[in-house]
Amino acid sequence: MTNYLVTGEFNNKESADRAYESMLNRGYTRDKIHLVMSEATRSTHYADSNVKVETGSQTMAGTGTGAAIGGTVGAVAAAIAAVGTSLILPGLGLIVAGPLAAALAGAGAGGVTGGVIGALIGSGIPEEKAIIYEKGLREGNIMIGVHARNAEEAREIEAELRMNGAFNIHS
């Protein structure tokens, strides 16, 4: 099976929300959309959405995650609040939702200590792009990605991400 992974970085909440929503509108579910951001980014951009991500309510890869959703929230905020699909990596200061969270949880503690770069590479992102994404995450960017169903849809998703403000796009 060919891997049609399309990823991009966003440097603001509004662009990331629009892009995430557009992936949902394409029929991808929250558990099929990669979402990675720093805890500082979540606190800065999503603290006002009444989404609270707590540790201790569910164990995944040795790290507890859980969530309570209050009020109306954007697509990204809802994704990071989804119980069982979000993973907090305290040692790395990252919040991961979607397939990367599942991959890290399935890998156990070794997956967490291997870091997000290893998880990104494992999901099909070349090492040089994974390093760029990791740097961007430290700078406050939000990474969104999806495994497109085919090459044509991958091209359409790439254009859609770009239209919504994505940069450092990998396809």
For residue 35, the surrounding DSSP H or E stretch is: strand 33-38
For residue range 110-125, what is the model confidence (pLDDT) as tens digits?
444 456 677 777 777 8
- Residues 170 and 6 sit within 8 Å (Cβ to Cβ): yes
Nearest to 169 by CA among 62, 107, 96, 156: 156
Q: Mean pLDDT for the chain?
A: 74
For residue range 69-85, what is the model confidence (pLDDT) as tens digits?
333 346 666 665 554 55
Cα–Cα distance for residue pair 22/165, rounded to 1 Å: 12
Res 98 pLDDT > 60: yes
Total domain count for the chain? 1
pLDDT at 72: 37
Res 25 pLDDT > 90: yes
- Residues 170 and 129 sit within 8 Å (Cβ to Cβ): yes
Q: Please give the residue range of the domain that contains residue 72.
A: 5-170
The model's pTM is: 0.76
